[in-house]
Amino acid sequence: MPVLQLIYQHPLLTPSQLETIFEAHTLVDFKKGDYLLKKGQVSNSYFCIGEGMVRSYVHDFNGNDITTGFIEKNEIAIDVISLFHQVPTVEYFQALTDCTCYVIDLDKFQVLYHSIKGFNEWGRAWMSKSLFQLKQRTISMITDSASERYKSLQEQHPRILQQAPLKFIASYLGITDTSLSRIRKELTR
């Protein structure tokens, strides 16, 4: 499982512990459009994306989609609140392309989390990194223009621009698809 090798990198994890962690995963396929998790459900699984891309989104009060994130290959797709607090989620997690996922059920995850110190540390590192990235995004929403945010996305996550339709990218950047279309036109001159 080369994908899992990439995901679980932490100095405290020994090869035999990694083996135990790898074996806890089961393989699940999703077709484009399938939902890994839907609003109202209580999350019971932890997903690593092995192949493909997932989009997370919420509905705002007008019924519009707001894309909250794109989860790429070799990344983790979970709603931490729903999974760890066992409450209904407000987000949708939908396969943007056909996906292959490595999945661990919550019960099994908790056992690993409490029995393998390095896995616990890895989890804390993952969550703090997520927090940091989200903070960067929030700051970018304040300091950067829509055009600059688009360019950053283009540099840092080119695959998203290739795989996601414009309207999803636009709502992720906090603008309308109309505006993004104009920004793109402007940039290609």
Partner DNA sequence: TAATCCACTTGCCATAAGGCAAGAAATGAA
Partner DNA sequence: TTCATTTCTTGCCTTATGGCAAGTGGATTA
38 binds a second copy (CB under 8 A): no
Comparison of 25 and 55: residue with beta carbon closer to DNA: 55
Category of 147 on φ-ψ map: left (φ > 0), alpha (ψ -120 to 50) or beta: alpha
Q: How many Cα atoms sit within 13 Å of 77 on the Cβ side? A: 33
Comparison of 35 and 132: residue with beta carbon closer to a second copy: 132
Q: Which of residues 129-188 bind a second copy (CB under 8 A)?
A: 129-132, 134-135, 137-139, 141-143, 171, 174
| Binding partner at 166 among a second copy, DNA, none, C-beta below 5 to 8 Å by kind | DNA
Binding site residues, DNA, CB under 7 A: 145-147, 165-167, 174-185
Rounded CA-CA distance 33/36 in Å is: 10
Comparison of 2 and 61: residue with beta carbon closer to a second copy: 61
Please enumerate in sequence order all residues whose Cβ is within 8 A of that of 26, keeping only pairs 6 or more positions apart, or say none.
102, 103, 104
